Structure 1
């Protein structure tokens, strides 16, 4: 629901919303949403699901189990269980990335964007430090910095060879190739909608109906979730400027684009196949969780809009 996720990042650019303010209000909206849609709902739904059988490769990736173990137990792997035999605890020795460094890699782009906001607020943008922080805080540059940091940690902080790092990067691209094609197609369709002038038409109709612009942005994003996952170009004509309203609208659009995540979404199939779920199980988890995030995100945005 907030940068540096591509959806909110695109919405923020199209609506000319302030990056720092968007991240602050997005964080405020996200925390209770994550708690309710995550562990609270998970605790309730878990006992109501039939046995879930994760993909063998996924289990092996997170447990570090060797091939011999995976062949004996293709469904699940328990490492170090009390009654496990020596064969069942055969684990491939490899050095993992320390948790702290992994979390730091994720937070690098966020930190750089926050530093940019701080520089724009406190420092002179024409100064050397201000210019450097502004450049590093550009979303694309910040994301690249996060990637380079993660790559450096992987290459230098472990005993992996250069060939192993290269293979890891290649495998990561394979896993997202289909998703990139789907996102690209959705972006092209979004441009068609923008060029058709539908944004002005919807803006005119919505103004006549006196519909809350935050609700409208969320609703359009929810409906377009079937194809694009973004309502930025359509809702932009209704926003008169930046400020809190624009930032809340970014959050609402991001939340709306997550709802109704079903068979039309690449993420739905990614979760379903990775965890070995059937359609019913995936719907009760992935679809419901994403829709909960969507509705709760809208509720939090509307609550904060009282102060706009």
Structure 2
């Protein structure tokens, strides 16, 4: 076992021989958007992201699904079609799966990939002086929470869906090519939670620059008006003790930084010498963002 549960990494990695290690992960959740096809795409992209985060190549997946008996077959078909579209885009095969009855729909994938042993990128190898780069804007949880309450603009939801449905393949390819020290994807624990885990696992601390962090449209206004999910509230309760907010920032900034994401971008820790090359590769691979948002420092492990 090359990577297990000990450091809270994105996927398990099991070595077969000196050339091949399996990358194993699963993820599924209830709908966060109204359109079933979009939901399927987002759920699949989210599950695949864990393989991309460790620098792996996904190969196959199994559908994991739970549907109410009274959910129409056309809706179920659209969800599965969305997942299939992302699988085809990723170049993988969905080779089976399992479905159960449940009161609330749930969908996702169990994904198997490969990586060369010793080439895996973990969340536990950030180095002092590293530059932190993120490849998607944050705030999707605030927008989807607002949408459920009828408080979000159509354009805001559209931007969030586009972001969540975008594969992290281009970002992963770029960081593998350049050679980075550490990475994770930004999902349910928010940017602060996943960065804190990376720093804790690496025995280091980090500084973030609020003004450099990309944020989806209307997120600040929606957060100000109280569109905050239960997951985000729990994230804040967990992370607050590890975060120091400088003058000029407030709890509103903390809410956005702790916002529970779905299918967020990769958060990459790369040496300063290689950071410009990585940004250029990310741009060439047409990732949504290639934003330098902070630095890794010596300090109390896990603090920001």
TM-score after normalising by structure 1: 0.26
Bigger CA radius of gyration: 1
Structure (1 or 2) with the greater helix fraction: 1
- The alignment's TM-score, normalised by the length of structure 2, stands at 0.26
